[in-house]
Chain A
Amino acid sequence: MEYEPVIGLEVHAQLKTDSKLFCGCSTRFGKEPNANTCPVCLGMPGVLPVLNRKVVQYTVMMGLATNCRIAGESIFARKNYFYPDLPKGYQISQYEAPICEDGWVEIKANGEARRIGITRIHMEEDAGKLVHEGAFDSSHSSFVDLNRACVPLMEIVSEPDIRSPEEAGAYMRKLRDIVIYLGICDGNMEEGSLRCDANISIRPRGSDTFGTRAEIKNMNSFRFLQAALEYEFERQVDLIRDDGHVVQETRLFDSNRGVTSSMRSKEEAHDYRYFPEPDLVPLRIGPDWVEQVRQSLPESRDEKIGRYVGEMKLSEYDAQVLTSDPVTARFFENVVRGGAKPKAASNWVMGEFMRLVKEAGVEAAKITPEQVAHIIMLVETQAISGSAAKAVFEQVFDTGQDPDRVVKEQGLAQVSDEGAIREEVQRVLDDHPDDVARFRAGKQKVLGFLVGQVMKATKGKANPKLVNEILRELLSK
Chain B
Amino acid sequence: MSRGAKRGGTILAVAILIAPAFAADAGRWIHVRVDENGEHGAKVDVQVPLSMVSSLMPTLKTKIDLDGDLDFGHGKMTVAEMRDAWAAVKHAKDGNYVTIRDASGTVRVAKRAGVVHVEVNSDGGSERVTLRLPVALVDAALGSGEQLDVPGLLEALSDVPSGELIAVDDDESKIRIWIDDRPDTRDDRP
A binds B: no
Residues of A within 8 A of B (CB): none
Residues of B within 8 A of A (CB): none
